[in-house]
Amino acid sequence: MEWIADQYDQFQKRYQLKNGLDLISKLEAITNLKDRDILDLGCGNGELSLVLADKIGLNGSITAVDRDEGMLEVFKEKAGSNRVKICREDLLPWLDSDRNRYDIVFSNAVFHWLSTAANLLGTFAGIYKVLKYKGCLAVRFSLEGNAEETKGFLEKQLRYFLNDNSITLSRSRFNYKQCATMIEQCGFELLESIEKVFVPFSEPESHFQWMIKSQPLLNYLNANQLELFKSYLYQQWKEKPVQVKSHHGVFLAQKPASSPFDNANRS
């Protein structure tokens, strides 16, 4: 999926930033951020990397990884002279390139884009490798069932508008239990984990804006169709808006001081 980075940047401030700041507070409750080497996986427009950068003091470092060029351009403009190392890479192969390097791995709203369980497990195993002993992982992402009503509505309208019943929007695939089990399988000690089920928008207009900005409409429509579709969609929405329920997994974990998993992961 290609992101519309400028649009995400405006939208992020209202939705994703709040979730990310919540994750940062939870991280601060389990560890000190000062003088730490932090890796932000799937940093996107960098808004949260810069919040972390403000907390690490002069001796800490931030490395931010994302594969999307547009997102990273927006980030670079914002970062200015801030001491942040920005890498354009796919996170799974990138995690294989380093060992015992970071005190903290942080990731907000990314892992549901990993399309298979093998990739998700491989990502947790890679994070385990790049973390120092006693290093912490703080991760939040969408779980199975996330925004199901919104996706169902949008899918139905896209199918009708394009007269194509094969259109299927991608969904978060992993449930809470699977994720918690994978994290432990990789050798982590799970410190805190919750499935947050919540209604993120109190009124339909914000929900509508979120839907048209966060869902990959350009995968299905060209620029001319897009504007027509948005007005068609708005009419349908006004007649019968749906409620949205978010399902997010929040996981905080620690790599132990030493563990039998290390040998398994090194081979």
Q: Is 12 in the site for ligand SAM (CB under 6 A)?
A: yes
Position among 62, 109, 180, 233 found at the interface with ligand SAM (CB under 6 A): 109
Q: Which residues pair with 193 in a beta bridge?
A: 251
Residue nearest to ligand SAM (CB): 44
Window of 65-73, 188-196, 221-229, 246-254 that interacts with ligand SAM by CB under 6 A = 65-73
How would DSSP label each residue in 103-153?
EEEEEES-GGG--SHHHHHHHHHHHHHHEEEEEEEEEEEE-TTTTHHHHHH
Residue ranges in 133-172 that form contacts with ligand SAM under rule CB under 6 A: none
Name which of 92 and 221 has its Cβ closer to ligand SAM: 92
- Residue 195's nearest CA partner among 117, 120, 245, 143 is 143
* Contact residue for ligand SAM among 39, 71, 130, 252 (CB under 6 A): 71
Question: Does the protein bind ligand SAM through residue 66 (CB under 6 A)?
Answer: yes
Nearest to 257 by CA among 123, 122, 95, 131: 131
Give the separation between CA 93 and CA 89, rounded to whole angstroms: 8
Smallest separation (angstroms) from ligand SAM to the CB of 10: 12
From the list 69, 77, 90, 164, which residue makes contact with ligand SAM (rule: CB under 6 A)?
A: 90
User: What's the closest the beta carbon of residue 111 comes to ligand SAM, in angstroms?
Assistant: 8
By CB under 6 A, residue 113 contacts ligand SAM: yes
Residue 28 CA to residue 49 CA, distance in Å, equals 14
> Are 3 and 71 spatial neighbours (Cβ–Cβ below 8 Å)?
yes
Determine, following the binding rule CB under 6 A, whether residue 48 of this chain makes contact with ligand SAM. yes
140 DSSP β-pair partners: 108, 250
Q: How many other CB atoms are found less than 10 A from the CB of residue 37?
A: 17
Place of tokens 């132990």: 256
**Residues 199-218 contacting ligand SAM, CB under 6 A:** none
User: With CB under 6 A as the contact rule, which of the stretches 42-50, 149-157, 165-173, 233-241 interacts with ligand SAM?
Assistant: 42-50
Which residues in this chain contact ligand SAM in the complex, by CB under 6 A? 3, 12, 16, 20, 42-44, 47-48, 66-68, 71, 90-92, 108-110, 113
